[in-house]
Amino acid sequence: MKAVRHEELTVRVVLKPNCGLENTRASLVMRRIAPLCDNLSCHPRSVKSDRSTIAFLRDHGLYLRFSSPTPEQALLTIKSSFFVDHCTLVEDQTSLPAYDKEDLEADGIGDSAFAPPSTFVDESELDGGGSDLTNLLAKFEEVQRKLHGHAENQPQDRELSSIVFSHAQVVDELRTAVARSRIEPFDRMATSLKTLVADYSRRFGVLVDLYIIDDHIALDRSVLASMKEIIKRVIRSCLRDGIEQPEHRMAAGKPPRALLRLRLESDGSEVVCRIEHDGRPFDSRIVGEQALERGLLTRPLETYTEEEIGALLLLPGFVSAVENPVSSTFSQFNEIGSALQHIGGRGEVRNTDHGTLEIALHFPVPFTIMEAAILRTGSMRFALPAQQIGYFEAYRAERIGRDEDGREARTENRARASSAFYTGEDGRRAKLLNGHDSGSPLEAESPTLALFLEALGELRCLAVDAVDGYERISVSKLPPLLDHGTLRRAGCFGYSRLKDGAPCAVISIRHLLNAVFKEEGSCARS
């Protein structure tokens, strides 16, 4: 079969100003779109390993040339990176600014030439040998720690510092290779899931539009395999028992085509797959009464929330074989609950505020790979998953305000941390997570940036003193000995060893809010 050739595009990517580390951020942009491209090259040709590119990136931006079967998705991926200001298509190839670099000319490559980014690893080189790479990485990291220690004791030795820097780059490249040998992106599942939905739609006589939002999450292959089987079972249950046939939907005032949305979220300690559809809701009253009859409740039924009742549906053996409204709608949930329990996961079912049914599947992961911003507030250095950051801007103290009564009101099920809010340049108000009176372990001393985050359906703001960098990190669970106190209050769920060899706490906004709500006698939604 003749290969399909896709149109080649050239794009200028302008990074957000005044954030530093332009070459590292440019490299992260390329890493994000690489899985979507048939080929990818860049100008300047080596943006991560060559710090002299920083001035060019700051003045002119990064130029990418690629072809893709889904160019719209590639462009959207670039634009949605929180460290990208904007990107534009380049029509005139002769308008590219030259990058004057002697070693490029020595290699016979012109000033404006595109070349494959030097930081990428050829996946064909990673087939097999995963354990060998892991062992080799451990040895390299041990050498890196020793070199770093010697360099700190001899700050005047510039040659040693240069060796440490070069070795750190090698370790970073090897770490990337090892990670890629063990993990796969979730979006590789997308095609098979869409085919599955199409097959089930025909089989069960329903019309369904599937939307997948995965935030470019990559996971261990064994975790993905377990997730895929459970997700397939849930989708089958939704289409067979949860979504009405077109004529029934129209009679109920709904559009004939149902909406099925699959959203993947990760904070490192677990991956949550939220499967949502606009079919039949579940009756928490009936489910609660069944739980009461079976003696499963430890307190009065009326004290349970709908989400707590919904979690019972995914307990192995809860759905009865006897025909009733619960078993007829959730007939496969015994198997789903058992499969989740087997891998140490959990799940819950809830009716959303906008009239849909959501099934949340929580999968534990031994580690995950994610892009993260390395931040500083006061004396604390921590990593924050990039996907949790919507946008950011320069911090202005005069933009801080308070409620008229000096404190935040409490909603029905949720307490709020402090009375301070921050107004962005677009006029939107965001709850300030670490104001001076919040008592937060993340309180900033001299904030320079305001980060805006969507959390639990609300806009939040985190003030930070500095951004130390952007890295693709591997997150491990926090040891039990450290999983308490200040780290817990700060929303820490894991740690990572950065490319400089230093350990770094990894913060999740959800975990931070849960800690705040716990102190105030409330709780956040998982």
In terms of Cα–Cα distance, which of 381, 405, 339 is closest to 466?
A: 381
Which residues of the chain are modeled with pLDDT < 70? Answer: 1-6, 18-21, 48-51, 82, 100-134, 172-173, 175-182, 215-216, 267-269, 320-329, 331, 366-368, 403-419, 435-438, 455-457, 477-485, 515-526
All residues at 6 or more sequence positions from 463 whose CB lies less than 8 Å from its CB, including other chains: 377, 395, 422, 432, 434, 435, 444, 447, 449, 450, 451
Both 170 and 257 in one domain: the answer is: no
The domain boundary, picked from 364, 388, 417, lies at 364
The sheet carrying 62-67 orders its strands as 39-43, 62-67, 8-15, 84-89
**Domain range enclosing 155:** 125-184
Alpha-carbon distance of 82 to 370, in angstroms, equals 14
Locate the DSSP E strands across 380-465. 380-385, 391-394, 400-402, 420-423, 429-432, 449-455, 458-464
For residue 456, the model assigns a pLDDT of 63
In terms of Cα–Cα distance, which of 368, 226, 353, 386 is closest to 281?
A: 353
For residue 358, the model assigns a pLDDT of 93
For residue 306, the model assigns a pLDDT of 82
Both 408 and 339 in one domain: the answer is: no
Q: What is the DSSP string of 213-237?
A: E-TT-EEEHHHHHHHHHHHHHHHHH
Both 85 and 30 in one domain: the answer is: yes
52-496-138 Cα angle (round to 5): 85
Q: Please report, for the domain that includes residue 261, its CATH number.
A: 3.30.565.10
Locate the DSSP E strands across 27-150. 39-43, 62-67, 84-89
In terms of Cα–Cα distance, which of 400, 412, 369 is closest to 271?
A: 369
- Whole-number average pLDDT of the chain: 76
Both 105 and 212 in one domain: the answer is: no
Inter-CA distances, 9 with 48, 69, 83, Å: 22, 12, 21
Both 300 and 437 in one domain: the answer is: no
Both 154 and 278 in one domain: the answer is: no
With a threshold of 0.85, does the pTM exceed it? no
How many residues in total does the chain contain? 526
For residue 249, the model assigns a pLDDT of 92
pLDDT digits (tens, 9 = 90+) for 89-111: 888 777 788 775 533 333 333 33
Both 180 and 209 in one domain: the answer is: no
For residue 262, the model assigns a pLDDT of 93
The alpha-carbon radius of gyration of the chain (Å, integer) is 25
152 located within any domain: yes
